[in-house]
A and B are shown apart, each in its own frame.
Chain A
Amino acid sequence: MKEFELEPGEHVVLQVRKHWLLFIASFLPYAILAIIPFVIPNVLTLAPPMAAYAAFFDYTTPIMRAALGVWLLVVWTSAWGSFTRYFLNVWVLTNQRIVNIKQRRYFSREVSGLFLSRVQDVTTDVTGVLYSLIGIGDIKVQTAGEEQEFVMRGIPRPEQMRDVILRYVSVGPKAPGV
Chain B
Amino acid sequence: MPDQPLQPFSPPTALLAYLPSGFSIGIVITWVLYVVFAFWAVYTIVAIYHWLKYSHASWVAFPAIAVHLIVSFALISYALSGQAFFLSNYLP
CB–CB A68/B79 < 8 A: yes
CB–CB B72/A88 < 8 A: no
- How far apart are the CA atoms of A106 and B46 in the complex, in Å? 8
B interface, over-half SS: helix
CB–CB B54/A103 < 8 A: yes
User: Distance (Å) between the CB of A84 and the closest chain B CB?
Assistant: 5
- Size band of the A side of the interface? 20 to 34
The verdict on A177 contacting chain B, using a C-beta distance below 8 Å, is: no
CB–CB A66/B91 < 8 A: no
CB–CB B54/A66 < 8 A: no
- Size band of the B side of the interface? 35 or more
- How far apart are the CA atoms of A3 and B60 in the complex, in Å? 18
CB–CB A87/B60 < 8 A: yes
Which chain A residues border B76 with CB–CB below 8 Å?
69, 73
User: Distance (Å) between the CB of B72 and the closest chain A CB?
Assistant: 6
User: Distance (Å) between the CB of B41 and the closest chain A CB?
Assistant: 10
CB–CB B75/A76 < 8 A: yes
CB–CB B36/A70 < 8 A: yes
The verdict on A74 contacting chain B, using a C-beta distance below 8 Å, is: yes
CB–CB A69/B79 < 8 A: yes
Q: Within residues 2 to 43 of chain B, which ones have a CB less than 8 A from any CB in chain A?
A: 6, 8, 11-12, 25, 29, 32-33, 36, 40, 43
Closest chain B residue to A62 by CB distance?
B82
Which one of A53-61, A129-137, A149-157, A161-169 contacts B? A53-61
With A63-B25, A72-B91, A80-B67 known, 10 other A-B pairs at CB within 8 A are: A65-B79, A66-B29, A66-B80, A68-B79, A69-B78, A70-B79, A74-B36, A76-B72, A76-B75, A87-B64
